[in-house]
């Protein structure tokens, strides 16, 4: 049984990892549900939204609402689960509409996060987009050439980011992380990678 499911973006990764949270009628979050194995030798815990269906084997509470959540601490609007029109469908099927609403909320949260990051100059942003599209087109006809172009971008990134990483290291870690849309730990890892020092040093 799936224990959890998450949403991530390429740009922000674990700093803004989204998931579906479950809320009970009193507004609290339920504890994980423990399932015994058939052999009885061991079991496992699950907190995936679909297990909170009011079942009895094992006993588990019924979700009143689902809610988009993010690893940064953001919580979306509770989305009430429609049990009245569920019919005979199991929760893992009729609940997907509510899950979709939660993911839409998280997507809007990610848009808001992006709006708070340091903006790139418009001409540079357009240039980067043009380069990305050119490499994608190249990859359709000449895959190895596209790989060489992508490798060249990696080398450019390593060379041009080295100095800025050292400069940013001396700034307020919270402000640097916020400008990048990352948490402090991920921001420090990024600076260490580009700056060439150990993240643990």
Q: Model pTM greater than 0.75?
A: yes
CA–CA separation, 68 and 58 (whole Å): 26
Q: Where are the domains of the chain?
A: 6-116, 122-195
pLDDT score, position 201: 56
CA distances from 67 to 28, 51, 124, 182 (A): 12, 15, 37, 22
pLDDT score, position 177: 98
Q: DSSP assignment of 18-65, as one string?
A: EEEEEE-TTSPPPPPEEEE-TTSS-EEEE--GGG-B--BTTB-PBPSE
Which of 101, 7, 5 shows the shortest CA–CA distance to 51? 5
pLDDT in single tens digits along all 201 residues of the chain: 344 689 999 999 999 999 999 999 999 999 999 888 766 667 888 899 999 999 988 889 999 999 999 999 999 999 999 999 999 999 999 999 999 999 999 999 999 999 999 999 999 999 999 999 999 999 999 999 999 999 999 999 999 999 999 999 999 999 999 999 999 999 999 999 999 998 775
């Amino acid at each position: 049984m799936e224990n959890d499911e998450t949403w991530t973006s390429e740009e922000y990764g674990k700093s803004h990892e989204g998931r579906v949270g479950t809320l009970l009628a009193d507004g609290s979050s339920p504890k994980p549900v423990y399932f015994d194995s058939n052999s009885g030798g061991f079991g496992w815990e699950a907190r995936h939204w679909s297990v909170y269906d009011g079942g009895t084997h094992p006993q588990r509470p019924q979700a009143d609402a689902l809610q988009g959540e993010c690893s940064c601490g953001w919580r979306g609007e509770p989305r009430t689960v429609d049990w009245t029109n569920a019919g005979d469908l199991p929760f893992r099927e009729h609940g997907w509409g509510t899950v979709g609403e939660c993911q839409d909320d998280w997507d809007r949260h990610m848009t808001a996060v992006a709006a708070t990051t340091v903006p790139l100059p418009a001409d540079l942003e357009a240039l980067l987009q043009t380069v990305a599209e050119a490499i994608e087109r190249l990859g359709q006809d000449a895959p190895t050439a596209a790989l060489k172009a992508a490798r060249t971008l990696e080398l450019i990134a390593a060379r041009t980011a080295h100095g800025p990483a050292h400069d940013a290291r001396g700034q307020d870690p919270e402000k640097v992380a916020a400008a990048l849309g990352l948490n402090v730990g991920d921001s420090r890892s990024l600076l260490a990678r580009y700056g060439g020092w150990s993240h643990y040093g």
